[in-house]
Homo-oligomer: A and B are copies of this chain.
Amino acid sequence: MSEQVRNPRLEIEYCTRCRWLPRATWMAQELLTTFEAELGEVALVPGTGGVFEVRVGGEAVWSRSSDAAFTDAADIKRLVRDRIAPERPLGHSERQP
């Protein structure tokens, strides 16, 4: 029954006016599937103004405002991995051609 936040905490803030809830929950599922043991929680945060930002420990790892076009889940997983589990391999999605 505690209200305490679980760390590492990842936040996904998304613009409700842009109807990005499905995109945000899809990303949450991808990250919680990959980092099931490493993540303390994933918070979905309704926002406005075209925001789509993935933060770890309050720090942006990916933001639509600075990183322009939407990227795929594999890219964001690499950025999250670098923060919360740098030694963790991510399998085939990481292999170079």
> B-contacting residues of A (Cβ < 8 Å)?
1-6, 9, 11, 16, 21-22, 25, 28-29, 32-33, 36-37, 39-46, 55, 57-60
Secondary structure at the A interface, as helix, strand, loop or mixed, is: mixed
Q: How far, in Å, is A76 (CB) from chain B's closest CB?
A: 16
Cα A28 to Cα B22 in complex, Å, equals 10
Task: Pick the contact of A42: B32, B39, B43, B59 (CB < 8 A).
Answer: B43
B58 engages A44 (CB within 8 Å): no
Among A5, A9, A16, A40, find the residue whose CB has the most chain B CB atoms closer than 10 A.
A5
Closest residue to A22 on the B side, CB-wise? B29
A28 engages B3 (CB within 8 Å): no
